[in-house]
Structure 1
Amino acid sequence: MINPSDLYKRRIDFYSKLAPRILKHMDLVGYIRLIIVVITIISGVYFFRDTSDYISFGIIICNIALFIYAVNFHNKLKNYHKHICILKKINEMSIDRLKGKWTDFSDKGEEFIDEFHSFSKDLDIFGKGSLYQWINSTTTYMGRTKLANILTNPTKEKDEIEKRQKAIRELSKKRWWRQRLQAESMLVLEKNNGRDKSNKDLLKWAVAKNSIYLNPYVKFIIRLLPIITVITFILSINDYIPFKLALLLIIMQFLMLLANAKEFSKQFDLVFKYKNSIKAYEKIIDHFEKGNFKSQYIMSLKDKLRNEVGLIASRQLKNLDKLVERTLYRKNMLFFPINIITLWDYQCMIKLEQWKKQSGLSIKSWLDVIGEIEALSSLAIIDYDNPKWTKPTITDKRSVLNAKHLGHPLLTNKRVCNDINLNDPTKILLITGSNMSGKSTLLRTVGINLVLAYTGSVVCTKYMRCSIMNIKTCMRTNDNLERGISSFYAELQRIKVIIKELKKDKEVFFLLDEIFKGTNSYDRHIGAKMVMKQLLKNKAMGLVSTHDLELGDLEKESKGKIKNYHFQENYKNNSIYFDYKLRKGISKTRNALYLIKMAGIEIDET
């Protein structure tokens, strides 16, 4: 099997060679346009000297046609060049992701950070150096939102997870298709700084009906009146009828436009705001519609891409894009007389209302499909880039987590893997160890792999079997001066939520890191002991890290429901080393005083 890194490098090399060739073709077309202009000018001079010179006139007409063709061809080359540059960038980002240089990716998902979410802050789901920043390849608003939702609101249905697993595996094999999907949206949305805006106003507009423009009598009058006006104007020029009659009709149509000018501007400006987005949506859906897929989950998404009367989503969005383009004509002052004569604004309103009648109720589901397929494509990157990772087995059995060689997905270059086994009778792994030994990282390793497992993604392990559980964490609790909350009280609140969930008979997986560290050692010990005993009484399982070695006595008291594990360090040449390997039993080492000495603080050991 070819290494993903090698494939990305091949594509970068290919695009690096192709882009300059396209630029050369663009320059050539530019020179051809210049030659056409020169020949046209020379032919024009000869024609004006002798208007009977039909050869010169023919050359002028042909050159104008050639010039228009050359301009269109140049624009196509320009768009193709942009497309190639974007594809090159996508592959360069893929290389950076493999090398662990992804923390500079611009989209960190910071707007999705929720201080009160049950696990996202503690497990680094959003923000710099987060899971979202690592995997995200979405560009649209729906894609970004859907990916964030999948990561923070895991499905509780085994069947849905397994369907997603198959969909993600199928998408992982379609690297070129996925990159095209990303490039199509990036190409159009680069005018929006590469990111789509919220589509809330567009969706409101799509379902808000203005029935007057759908009234058959109104449509008949709006379409007939310009015809009558034009005929009247032609007849008045030829003195068949008084010119005043034609003028009266023109003034009447002008007043009709003036009466609704504000409404037209409001409606047209709203849809124009989404012009780039609509074009991107059309490109993405068209790309999706043309793809060949077999997985049930993806095919169910494809089935949603039709409106109430069976019209294809991409065509309907393309029609909407064309209608939005037509509304722009009114902004040109030279078009103003035509607007009056044809009642152009009214014609556009009628067309837009007809579009809403056909597809207004369907557009939300279409955009949801875009979000879903973009999010799944992001998760497929993990599978493609990490062929040695495995698909987790989701079990109906309660309270199970078995993993072999489990590593932190985001620690590309410094990853150390450990085995985790939690199933009856064991409910809690108590992790001890000195400072910086790897306790908190282990908790995050377990948590983030569970999150990935519930999304349908592969996980960073050789084998994983797990139940579907509600993930709850208590790790990063800080004082909040604005709300008057201490870190100790914040911990209590998080633990209260866990206990509350358990009382609802919900299956919980918890990760508790140094609980009650904000109080004295006696209260911390008693409090932690009571919490762990409370958790054992209910349907909960998880990991607890601590510096309190006396809590290790709970292994005997719990009759195997709590198991002790620890990390240890080694000292060599006045330096401290960690191997981050998990071992059975309670930690036998301490390093706080050693680290204090290393900081230059004198210790009186008498």
Structure 2
Amino acid sequence: MPMRLGRAATRLDGQRERLAHRSSLFSRVRLGLVLAGVLTAAVAFSAQQSGLAWVVVGGTTVIFAIVVRYHERVAERIRSHDIAIRLRREELARITCRWEDLPSPVDVAGPLGVSESHAFAADLNLFGPRSVHHLFDTALSRDGSRELGRWLLDEGEGVADGTGRATERQRLVRELRDMPVFRYRLAVAAGLVRIHENHPFDGQILLDWLGRRQVSPGVRLLLGVLTGLAALNAALVTTHALGWTPALWLFSFTAYAAIYLLNSRHYEHLFDDAEHLYYQLRHLRPVLRVLERFRFHGRPALEALCRPLQDGSPSRELARLSRLAAAASTQKSEVLRLVLNILVPWDLLFSVRLARAGERLHRELPAWLHAWRTLEAAGSLAAWAWRHPEAVFPAFRGDTAASASREDDPDTTLLEADALGHPLIPPEERVSNDFALGGAGHVVLITGSNMSGKSTFLRTVGVNVVLARAGSAVAASRMMLRPCRLFTSINVSDSLGDGMSYFYAEVKRLRALLDALSQDSGPPLLFLVDEIFRGTNNRERYAGSRAILEALRRGRGAGLVTTHDLELIHLEGLDNRHFREHIEHGRMAFDYLLHNGPCPTTNALAIMKMEGLPV
């Protein structure tokens, strides 16, 4: 895959270089046409051949316009190639996890209201630099990035027997995974917008703006009065010019001008509104054109999603609105604006027409934006699955294949996975593990030395559960998941601003975990707890940890807990697992494999000794 993407980027570089040469040639031709036309026309005029001169001017103008049109097409192809080259290089960076070559992450946690108290977002590195969202997100609109964020934050009720949100998203992602050409076309169309503007398109801003632009009460009556006065002005000017009436038009025009100017508040923002609408619609048209023309034969999920776009013709509707906005932009020319408004109430007329068109667009736009942002979110997950053919789509409880694959009862097994790895680790560096988590009361206690992989394994389980519920493929060779809620306690930290110590912050987090575990409604809880009560002394840590572990065993959930307290391994009812290490050439080495039973070794003193501490 990396070699193929590298060859594609090199090929596109060559094509782009040839297009740049052609663009340079068109520039020289345009300059030559202008010089030749001016020189030839000047010679013809000096020879008293004005007819020939005007023919030369007209012919040169027509040829120049044709050349300009072809030059613009070449320039558009250059922009498309620039986008394609960037996309290929980003794809390569995503495969190898070269974070410095990826675009800056889009801030979605803030707009989505994600706080440190969220059940799992902060602990699993879902958002921000070098995060799951940063690696997966290929959306070129803010709406698409936020939609992907919403999917990653799904609370879990959507995992059901073939009918939940996760299953519906997975169908969409499966269909998109095998459509790289369509995803490429959509990305290029959206990327053209990003080159024109230095920020991603945000459909919510356009929707909010349209919602505020409504026709004020009484404006239609005012427009009718002014239109009648304008017609009366024209009639009286005509009759006066023919000598049939005195200059009565002065009175009607005075009334027309007074009424028009006194109501300028209804149209004074016309140019700004028209300009804003024109550029916002330019964002949407290339993307909607791709979506409404592409035929998703044999892909029912995509057909259903894009049906609102393909039943109508959004791009034509936007083209009509763009022409209306362009016509309203005559305020750029003060002279033309004055002439038009003397003849008819031009500004007020187009203010009303723009407001009416905006009302129609405000009704239709949400369905169009929903299709686009859903495609971008699903396309981000599909692109990751396409880049990683070793990844698999998880089966959810109730799927026949999942039930038949193991002898275990799927109703009592919360999670099963073979070769489970962390998606943020490159495949060539990733160490994978087989793992199964039973039903309510199953608590896996993981012991092991420092740096052996305990915390990473918790995040591995959590991130893959999040991806499964989002509809994505997962970093495993097989995975089965039943409906569950997710709660983590991994990155607990103190807060100087709130005057909260690390230990108290951990206590509050575990209190929230037990509250979630005691809920009688909803699916069971899958919990992940890292190094329980590490912020207090040994004696109290052991007593507190034992009490918490017993509460976890009695609750409506199952999960994993890591600890350095080897005394806890003797508690009844726990499933002990461990990570181990060994000394190799005077250095600590880890295999990052999950082993059965409690950890037989420790390494704290060895690490201290290797670093020269007096132990």
Q: TM-score, normalised by structure 2?
A: 0.89
The answer to whether residue 190 in structure 2 is matched with residue 178 in structure 1 is no
- CA shift at 1:369, angstroms? 1.9
Change (3 A) 1:6 1:229: farther
How many residue pairs end up in the alignment?
590
The Cα RMSD (Å) is 2.7
The answer to whether residue 467 in structure 2 is matched with residue 462 in structure 1 is no
Change (3 A) 1:344 1:514: same
- CA shift at 1:235, angstroms? 6.7
The answer to whether residue 461 in structure 2 is matched with residue 446 in structure 1 is yes
- Distance (Å, rounded) in 2 between the aligned partners of 1:381 and 1:317: 29
Change (3 A) 1:264 1:218: closer
The answer to whether residue 25 in structure 2 is matched with residue 11 in structure 1 is no
**Structure 2 equivalent of residue 549 of structure 1:** 566
**Structure 2 equivalent of residue 296 of structure 1:** 300
Once the two structures are superposed, residues 469-518 of structure 1 have per-residue CA deviations (whole angstroms, 9 ceiling, x without a partner) of 11110011111111122222222222222222232223111110012111
Segment drifting more, 59-68 vs 49-58: 49-58
2:25 to 28, 34, 38: 28
- CA shift at 1:46, angstroms? 4.1
- Distance (Å, rounded) in 2 between the aligned partners of 1:59 and 1:232: 44
Change (3 A) 1:594 1:218: same
**Structure 2 equivalent of residue 358 of structure 1:** 360
The answer to whether residue 382 in structure 2 is matched with residue 380 in structure 1 is yes
**Where in structure 2 are the equivalents of 1:67-86 lying within 5 Å?**
67-86=64-83
**Structure 2 equivalent of residue 508 of structure 1:** 525
Segment drifting more, 50-59 vs 142-151: 50-59
**Structure 2 equivalent of residue 529 of structure 1:** 546
Q: Is the 8 A contact 1:437 1:569 kept in 2?
A: yes
Counterpart residue identity of residue 521, structure 1: N
- Distance (Å, rounded) in 1 between the aligned partners of 2:611 and 2:61: 79
Secondary structure (helix, strand or coil) at the match of 2:61 reads: helix
**Structure 2 equivalent of residue 137 of structure 1:** 138
Q: Is the 8 A contact 1:222 1:346 kept in 2?
A: no
- Distance (Å, rounded) in 1 between the aligned partners of 2:270 and 2:596: 68
Change (3 A) 1:381 1:252: farther
Counterpart residue identity of residue 34, structure 1: L
Q: Percent identity?
A: 27
**Structure 2 equivalent of residue 472 of structure 1:** 487
Counterpart residue identity of residue 515, structure 2: K
**Structure 2 equivalent of residue 168 of structure 1:** 173
**Structure 1 equivalent of residue 121 of structure 2:** 120
- Distance (Å, rounded) in 1 between the aligned partners of 2:553 and 2:278: 57
Change (3 A) 1:202 1:163: closer
Q: Is the 8 A contact 1:140 1:196 kept in 2?
A: yes
Secondary structure (helix, strand or coil) at the match of 2:363 reads: coil
Change (3 A) 1:538 1:11: same
- Distance (Å, rounded) in 2 between the aligned partners of 1:105 and 1:152: 23
Counterpart residue identity of residue 369, structure 2: L
Segment drifting more, 425-434 vs 269-278: 269-278
Once the two structures are superposed, residues 60-109 of structure 1 have per-residue CA deviations (whole angstroms, 9 ceiling, x without a partner) of 11211222232233223222211111111001100111122135423323
The answer to whether residue 58 in structure 2 is matched with residue 61 in structure 1 is yes
Secondary structure (helix, strand or coil) at the match of 1:405 reads: strand
Q: Is the 8 A contact 1:394 1:465 kept in 2?
A: yes
**Structure 1 equivalent of residue 318 of structure 2:** 317
Change (3 A) 1:418 1:351: same
- Distance (Å, rounded) in 2 between the aligned partners of 1:107 and 1:60: 51
**Structure 2 equivalent of residue 109 of structure 1:** 106
Once the two structures are superposed, residues 201-230 of structure 1 have per-residue CA deviations (whole angstroms, 9 ceiling, x without a partner) of 633524753154884x55555556556556
Segment drifting more, 332-341 vs 372-381: 332-341
**Structure 2 equivalent of residue 286 of structure 1:** 289
- Distance (Å, rounded) in 2 between the aligned partners of 1:115 and 1:456: 24
Counterpart residue identity of residue 468, structure 2: A
Counterpart residue identity of residue 600, structure 2: K
- Distance (Å, rounded) in 2 between the aligned partners of 1:66 and 1:344: 35
- CA shift at 1:346, angstroms? 1.6
Q: Is the 8 A contact 1:40 1:60 kept in 2?
A: yes
- Distance (Å, rounded) in 1 between the aligned partners of 2:229 and 2:141: 42
The answer to whether residue 415 in structure 2 is matched with residue 433 in structure 1 is no
- Distance (Å, rounded) in 2 between the aligned partners of 1:71 and 1:241: 52
Once the two structures are superposed, residues 581-602 of structure 1 have per-residue CA deviations (whole angstroms, 9 ceiling, x without a partner) of 1101111111112222233322
The answer to whether residue 584 in structure 2 is matched with residue 572 in structure 1 is yes
Change (3 A) 1:225 1:202: farther
- Distance (Å, rounded) in 2 between the aligned partners of 1:318 and 1:100: 41
Q: Is the 8 A contact 1:517 1:524 kept in 2?
A: yes
**Where in structure 2 are the equivalents of 1:28-427 lying within 5 Å?**
28-49=25-46, 53-112=50-109, 114-154=115-155, 156-157=157-158, 158=160, 159=163, 160-197=165-202, 199-200=204-205, 202-206=207-211, 209-210=214-215, 212=217, 215=220, 220-221=224-225, 226=230, 229=233, 254-256=257-259, 258-266=261-269, 268-270=271-273, 272-273=275-276, 275-293=278-296, 294-305=298-309, 311-341=312-342, 342-396=344-398, 397=411, 399-412=413-426, 413-424=428-439, 427=442
Q: Is the 8 A contact 1:139 1:194 kept in 2?
A: no
- Distance (Å, rounded) in 2 between the aligned partners of 1:204 and 1:599: 61
Q: Is the 8 A contact 1:127 1:133 kept in 2?
A: yes
Once the two structures are superposed, residues 223-278 of structure 1 have per-residue CA deviations (whole angstroms, 9 ceiling, x without a partner) of 56556556666776677766x65566666555555434444344653564464443
Q: Is the 8 A contact 2:270 2:347 kept in 1?
A: no
Once the two structures are superposed, residues 336-359 of structure 1 have per-residue CA deviations (whole angstroms, 9 ceiling, x without a partner) of 323423433223212212213433
Structure 1 segments unaligned to the other structure (5+ residues): none
- Distance (Å, rounded) in 2 between the aligned partners of 1:239 and 1:444: 91
- Distance (Å, rounded) in 2 between the aligned partners of 1:379 and 1:154: 18
Q: Is the 8 A contact 2:226 2:256 kept in 1?
A: no
- CA shift at 1:6, angstroms? 3.9
Once the two structures are superposed, residues 309-345 of structure 1 have per-residue CA deviations (whole angstroms, 9 ceiling, x without a partner) of x753333233333333333331333433234234332
Secondary structure (helix, strand or coil) at the match of 1:199 reads: helix
Counterpart residue identity of residue 267, structure 2: F
Change (3 A) 1:49 1:235: farther
Change (3 A) 1:83 1:246: farther
2:602 to 590, 595, 599: 590
- Distance (Å, rounded) in 1 between the aligned partners of 2:175 and 2:548: 44
